[in-house]
């Protein structure tokens, strides 16, 4: 089976939706750092994350859909991104991120928080794998936009996301632009 990836087209409608290369500049990642894309999906953020941490760094492409884990590995291989490790994870389960405690310098959660049924458990699991001082970046929908994003009842506002993170012992650090229909939020583990 031949798999073809277009690594240049990793966003939809520039200026309207999350553009990984632009949003990733707000992550302030450094060479050699360890970062996880939690809910990596189609791998849209993998190239900018890989570039930011460099060959000495590590990017964990975490995904609950097992068929996507294989596709993310194939994407990394075909793209020559040797610092990416695909990893099956269930964030809604204690120990579901298959990494040791205090492993990550940063984690990103893009268009994923609203999907969790067990949001508190997922945030506690992310807290566990971040090192003290590590940063979680949440990018999520500001509203439903007529069904384009999550259903209206499932939207997690920036205020709700901040409150959930504070309940999980994260300290809000900053907000940043993440596209016309999204917010960006950075919270830090103490």
Listed in sequence order, the residues at least 6 apart from 152 whose beta carbon sits closer than 8 Å to its beta carbon are 143, 144
Residue 25: CATH number of its domain: 3.40.50.150
The DSSP H or E segment spanning 58 is strand 58-63
pLDDT digits (tens, 9 = 90+) for 4-31: 333 333 333 334 567 888 888 999 999 9
- Structural domain count of the chain: 1
In a domain, 15, yes or no: no
> Would you call 136 helix, strand, or coil by DSSP?
strand
φ, ψ for residue 89, nearest 5 deg:
-140, 145
What does the pLDDT average to over 108-113?
96
Q: Is residue 161 within 8 Å of residue 185, measured between CB atoms?
A: yes
The DSSP call for residue 97 is: S
In a domain, 1, yes or no: no
Write out the residue range of the structural domain in which residue 70 sits: 20-143+156-189
What is the rounded distance in angstroms from the CA atom of residue 58 to the CA atom of residue 56?
7
pTM (2 d.p.): 0.89
What does DSSP say about strands 84-88 and 130-141: parallel, antiparallel, or unpaired? unpaired
pLDDT digits (tens, 9 = 90+) for 117-129: 999 999 999 999 9
Q: Is residue 131 within 8 Å of residue 87, measured between CB atoms?
A: no
Per-residue tokens: 188: 């830090």
In a domain, 26, yes or no: yes
In a domain, 11, yes or no: no
Q: Is residue 110 within 8 Å of residue 139, measured between CB atoms?
A: yes
In a domain, 151, yes or no: no
In a domain, 119, yes or no: yes
């Amino acid at each position: 089976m031949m798999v073809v990836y277009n690594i240049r087209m990793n966003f939809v409608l520039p200026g309207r939706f999350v553009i990984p290369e632009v949003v990733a500049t707000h992550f302030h990642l450094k060479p050699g750092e360890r970062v996880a894309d939690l809910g990596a999906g189609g791998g849209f953020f993998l190239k900018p994350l890989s570039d930011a941490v460099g060959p000495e760094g590590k990017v964990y492409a975490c995904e609950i859909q097992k068929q996507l884990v294989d596709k993310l590995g194939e994407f990394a291989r075909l793209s020559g991104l040797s610092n990416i490790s695909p990893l099956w994870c269930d964030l809604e389960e204690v120990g579901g991120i298959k990494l040791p405690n205090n492993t990550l310098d940063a984690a990103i959660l893009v268009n994923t928080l609203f999907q969790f049924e067990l949001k508190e458990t997922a945030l506690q699991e992310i807290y566990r794998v971040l090192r003290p001082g590590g940063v979680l970046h949440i990018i999520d929908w500001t509203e439903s936009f007529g069904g384009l994003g999550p259903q209206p009842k499932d939207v997690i506002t920036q205020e709700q996301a901040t409150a959930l993170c504070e309940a999980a012992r994260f300290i809000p650090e900053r907000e940043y632009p993440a596209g016309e229909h999204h917010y960006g939020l950075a919270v830090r583990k103490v």
